[in-house]
Structure formats: C-alpha cells, structure tokens
Amino acid sequence: MKILLLGDYSNVHCTLAEGLKSLGHECVVASDGDHWKDYPRDIDLKREFGVRGNLAFMWRLACAMTRFRGYDVVQLINPVFLELKAERIYPFYNYLRRFNRKVVLGAFGMDYYWAKVNTDIRPLRYSDFNIGDVIRTDEPAELFRSEMIGTEKERLCRFVAKDCDHIVAGLQEYWATYNEVKELKHKLTFVPFPIKMPDTPPVIEEKRCDEPVKIFVGISKGRSAYKGTDIMLAAAQAVRDKYPSRLNLQIAEGVPFAQYKSMMDNSDAILDQLYSYTPAMNSLLAMSKGIINVGGGEPENYEILGEHSLRPIVNVQPTYESCYHEIENLVLHPENIATLKRQSIEYVRKHHDYVKVARQYAELYERLLAK
C-alpha cells in the first residue's frame, strides 16, 4: 500500500511510518515536526512567524500538495492537520479526498469532540475538562474549550469526522469519547500507539536501599497546568524536601525530542499526564526503556488491551495527595522498582511494539480498501 501520514503529535506518525515500512508498505510523513519538538518527517510543513515565514510556508505547502495524491490511504493526525485557520483547511481536505482512495482521521488529541463530550456528557471519571461531575474551569481548560466549541474548528472537526472513511483512537479515553457520538461510533476503531523498542534491551538491576530514586519530569510549553504537571511536580518536590537523600528530580522544559529522550535515560520513573487514564507516547517511550510511569493506569486501560496480569503503571488520581502518596511509596519501597521496570518493558513490547501496531493499521487499511 501507499500511505500518507499527514501531521504528527508526539512522534505517533513517524513511529507508525517506520513500522509500516518494515512491513513493505510505502509510507510518507508530512508534518511540522509538532512545533518545537522537531520530530522527524519526510516533508517539512513547519511554519515560521512573520511575513517571510508565512510566504515560505505557503510555497512549501503548494509544492507539497502536488505530492499528496495517488495514495491508498491518507491518515490525518487531527481535523486541523495544517498550520492554518480552520476555515482555510477545507480546500486542502477536499483535494485529499478527491485524489486519494481513503481518508482516516486520527483521534489522537485535542479536537472538538474531546472538548465537547468531556464537558457535557463526561463519560470519564476525570479528563482534561472534568473532575467527576465538576467542570474544570482553570485557564487552560477554558481556553481550549473556547477554541473548540462554537468555532470554525468545531465546524471543521464535525465535517471531517462525518466525511472521512474511518476514525482511529490511540488511547482508551479517546475511544470512550468518540464512542459517545452516535453518528460516528460505527466507524471507530481503537489501535494502540506505536513504540519502537530500544535496540539494546535495558539492563534492570535491583535498587539498593541507600541509592536515591531518580524521577524525570517533562514540561511542555504552556501546557503544565492543563496536563497536571504542575501538581505532580509540586508533589515530587515536597517528597524530595522530606527525603532529600532519597529522591533526585530531573526536569526538562520545552526541549527538542532528541534531547528529551536523552535526558530521561537512566531515570527510575517519569511523571506524566495526571488527567489521563492511559500512558501516552512519552510515557510509553519511557516504559520501553525500563522507566516506571507514574500517571494514568486505570482499569479501563488494561481492559481495552486485554491485559490481565501486567500492572506496571503507578496509577494516580488527579489530586496532589494521590501524587504525593505514590511518589513517597516509590521512595520508601525501592525493592519494588526493579519488578515495575521489568513489567514496563514487557507491557510495551506486548501491546505497543511499532511493527505489531503497524500490522493492525495495515489490516484496518486493507479492510477499508476492500469496501
């Protein structure tokens, strides 16, 4: 098959492309590298600020569009798959629709349905937009809600979701959200995110009682409160203040992906995604290296994967107290760390290996093409 992956979040499409290529498919990734994260891509769609930057971007986009035809499948990272105002994306979408066989929409992150469903219906106990029946009104939640609901982005998202051939959710909570939309659930499939395992398997050693626990925290620009990193970091700092010789904290803020990966190496645990039910790409990457994920590991996550024995994720509830308790427990019980690390590696290998995931995508694409 000939496949175009358009746009990227957290290296999802780049990693998927590697898996699809290993299976013998022709695959092209076109993206802006997810802004400052600078993920690899075959066609660069990065937009710079200023008049010259805008002109250069439009020229690159015009040249790229001549190459965006003749594919068996085009997969969009999001309804807003180009760095353009929503109302200007329709002609590009219609062009893709006209000159390619099938279009698949990724339910991989922020879009209208994620904001609307989790504000009004609230199928999840907590999310980026609700804690139980209480609507989150912090500044980031309100900002994203105002950008997505009652706007051109809403209109575009509803149009693309209705028109596309299929929708793929990469996390259990995205699947649960789209599954609440009656007119879309018939063309919704869950496929786990792809992760490329390290070339050299990590060596896991037992943690000595006198050895400090090393915890890594990655902070995304402008998204700390939205993702709960501020709460997790505050809890970790409080534990460190109580046990200064038993906890080391390393913080990465707004660094490119290559540097981020290098900085997390040799950590024991990562703090990520307080309001998530499931580990996303950064957490899964860490787990593949034998780094424990302190974050989302709700029962629904294991259920949708069909996992009945492995429990490597240190699941936290969206509160400071829960984060503090779980981080303190890691620090006070280093004898548990090696087991959680080994389970983390096995979990990613079992459910998220990039070739295995690519095979699931290929099977989905082939079913669509056969219709």
The structural domains of the chain, ordered by start, are 2-194+354-370 (3.40.50.2000), 213-351 (3.40.50.2000)
CA distance 173 to 123: 9
Does residue 191 contact residue 364 with C-beta atoms inside 8 Å? Answer: yes
Q: What is the pLDDT of residue 74?
A: 98
DSSP secondary structure letter of residue 126: B
Q: What is the pLDDT of residue 47?
A: 84
Burial of residue 49 (number of CB atoms within 10 Å: 0-12, 13-18, 19+):
exposed
Q: What is the pLDDT of residue 362?
A: 98
DSSP secondary structure letter of residue 33: -
Does residue 314 contact residue 276 with C-beta atoms inside 8 Å? Answer: no
Q: What is the pLDDT of residue 222?
A: 60
Q: What is the pLDDT of residue 37?
A: 79
Q: What is the pLDDT of residue 261?
A: 81
CA distance 316 to 211: 24
Q: For the chain, 371 residues long, give each residue's pLDDT as a single digit of tens.
A: 999 999 999 999 999 999 999 999 999 999 998 887 788 999 999 888 777 878 888 888 888 899 999 999 999 999 999 999 999 999 999 999 999 999 999 999 899 999 999 999 999 999 999 999 999 998 889 999 999 999 999 999 999 999 999 999 999 999 999 999 999 999 999 999 999 999 988 989 898 888 999 999 987 766 667 788 899 999 999 999 999 999 999 988 877 777 888 889 889 999 999 999 999 999 999 999 999 999 999 999 999 999 999 999 999 999 999 999 999 999 999 999 999 999 999 999 999 999 999 999 999 999 999 98
At 80, is the secondary structure helix, strand, or coil? coil
CA distance 109 to 112: 10
Q: What is the pLDDT of residue 140?
A: 87
Residues 6+ apart with CB under 8 A from 343: 310, 311, 312
Whole-model pTM above 0.85? yes
CA distance 216 to 112: 31
Q: What is the pLDDT of residue 338?
A: 97
CA distance 99 to 210: 63
Q: What is the pLDDT of residue 101?
A: 98
